[in-house]
Structure 1
């Protein structure tokens, strides 16, 4: 069962106490836009008790009946807030920008951009091993929410058949097929862990999904207890020379697991916008591998206009007595 507090009383609370508090963690550059939004919606900005708190810090959310995260990730807020607090989050235009990021690096890896830039610095004209289109036009996206769906639509423009893997396997028009992750890999969760032990997938699933055919594997997972370490060595061994792109959370795949998959050739290249521990320490072997591209968590930067739009939509829904589309199911963490 999904866990979402009712909003029936929140609209009344907002009428009686139309107050909003900006957490100390809110980017100072965003404050003017958020204050303007609050005032235009009849909300008083206060440093004291407030009905709405805009923050990512549970300590800054104390006493609020509604908490809005200015970012998509709510891993710090979701487990810490009382069950009766409404929690919403910001996505905005982030899915489109993340899809552009994935498109950029899929093409950069295919077209050997790093190799040709390096050759240019030494005036080297080398026509050997030119770029070639992949003979496997299949992509796998783990996580089929707004980010995953935008990625799927973008990869489809390159001619990929895109298979989505999710917790439920619920169909989505953005994908050619969506399968439950556990069934796709014939996996079972070990007790008290998020680790997956793989077995033979059912024949019906195997016909629709063969990871060995995949050219691209995109991880678009939030951080939850269930996704922590979800991409196991056993799971990656099902792939064959895949380009792995992680734009979700670094906790989904352990660094040691990724290095093992690179060494074995199951992953031919890894493009990582997120890593297990950020910022990535200078001593990490990931920095020194030509088969790894690192970017500093820039694929889905949130804009102040995204936060305002997200708040506006949520407030409109709450005042109408409806559950906001951005409302977080506490038991899922997204």
Structure 2
């Protein structure tokens, strides 16, 4: 593959330009925010580096598209893709970041942080015995790199971790991996659920009324994709106490509209898609490594399987 013209489209284009320029690559670059990106820029390029493209473009003439995030649904979900165009994604500290994000909320729950803070406001001395992580069962949806890293960290702390994947293929960091077609068979046993799945036609709306009707008094964390969650079903499950609380970092529409009912629910915590942020340094390092491997004919660990969608 002969890469010559690369257009980088990102809100952090200036920082990416500074870091990439310092590498002194023998390539032609254009660095742009999306609002300045035009069809002429796309036609000039043989490679696109971007992530959350809001407009729809035809990438079929390109040689390579590199996602600055772990997800590629903005390029593939319900879209046609020319299989001759290589698609890769960013792999960096996402797993570590997501594991720590999820762990922080689960520990907050087990240690009764909110209850003790409420007691403090009332100047109320009321002991409660915190629960142990080692007594909890957690089901992680998604057993790829992010899911495995999260499972490994939780397992080291004594948590009994189950996985759900499209194939159900067993992986050593999980107590058991269940195929997504059979995931409801074990959900009633779980204390917490963590979604890290990519968005595909099989995962769209996965967390729906059927799912919530099979769980009881659990915690739900979504760091995968917003469209995997039926928000109305979640709100009903919260009101019925099938779900005790929900931690939501991703949404079908971002930013989350001010009139969305999730904002008002007392047992919903909202963060603005920050559980696994791509830093400029990590983004550039992954891009440079992928470019190097591509030009040297080495295997690409971050190549996307177009048929699977991730």
Residue 223 of structure 2 corresponds to residue 247 of structure 1: yes
Secondary structure, aligned partner of 1:260? helix
Change (3 A) 1:61 1:26: farther
**How far, CA to CA, are the matches of 1:138 and 1:27 in structure 2?**
42
Match of 1:66 in 2: 64
For the Cα contact (< 8 Å) 1:136–1:214, is it kept in 2?
no
**How far, CA to CA, are the matches of 2:100 and 2:245 in structure 1?**
18
**How far, CA to CA, are the matches of 1:98 and 1:135 in structure 2?**
20
Match of 2:115 in 1: 115
Match of 1:52 in 2: 47
Change (3 A) 1:156 1:24: closer
Change (3 A) 1:322 1:172: same
Match of 1:82 in 2: 82
Question: Offset of 1:314 from its aligned partner?
Answer: 1.5
Q: How many pairs are equivalent?
A: 294
Question: Offset of 1:143 from its aligned partner?
Answer: 0.8
Question: Offset of 1:231 from its aligned partner?
Answer: 1.5
Question: Offset of 1:161 from its aligned partner?
Answer: 1.0
Question: Offset of 1:225 from its aligned partner?
Answer: 2.1
Structure number with greater CO (CA < 8 Å, separation at least 6) is 1
Change (3 A) 1:43 1:241: same
**Which blocks of at least 5 consecutive residues in structure 1 are unaligned?**
1-9, 186-200, 202-209
Using structure 1 for the length normalisation, give the TM-score. 0.80
**How far, CA to CA, are the matches of 2:91 and 2:74 in structure 1?**
17
Match of 1:4 in 2: none
Match of 1:147 in 2: 146
**How far, CA to CA, are the matches of 1:224 and 1:71 in structure 2?**
16
Cα distance per residue 1:236-279 (max 9 Å; x no partner):
22222111111111111111110121122221111111233222
**Which blocks of at least 5 consecutive residues in structure 2 are unaligned?**
31-40
Using structure 2 for the length normalisation, give the TM-score. 0.86
Question: Offset of 1:322 from its aligned partner?
Answer: 3.8
Match of 1:29 in 2: 15
**How far, CA to CA, are the matches of 1:109 and 1:275 in structure 2?**
23
**How far, CA to CA, are the matches of 2:292 and 2:173 in structure 1?**
27
Question: Offset of 1:306 from its aligned partner?
Answer: 1.6
CA RMSD of the aligned region, Å?
Answer: 2.3
For the Cα contact (< 8 Å) 1:134–1:215, is it kept in 2?
no
Change (3 A) 1:288 1:118: farther
Question: Offset of 1:31 from its aligned partner?
Answer: 2.0
Secondary structure, aligned partner of 2:75? coil
Match of 1:233 in 2: 209
Question: Offset of 1:283 from its aligned partner?
Answer: 2.7
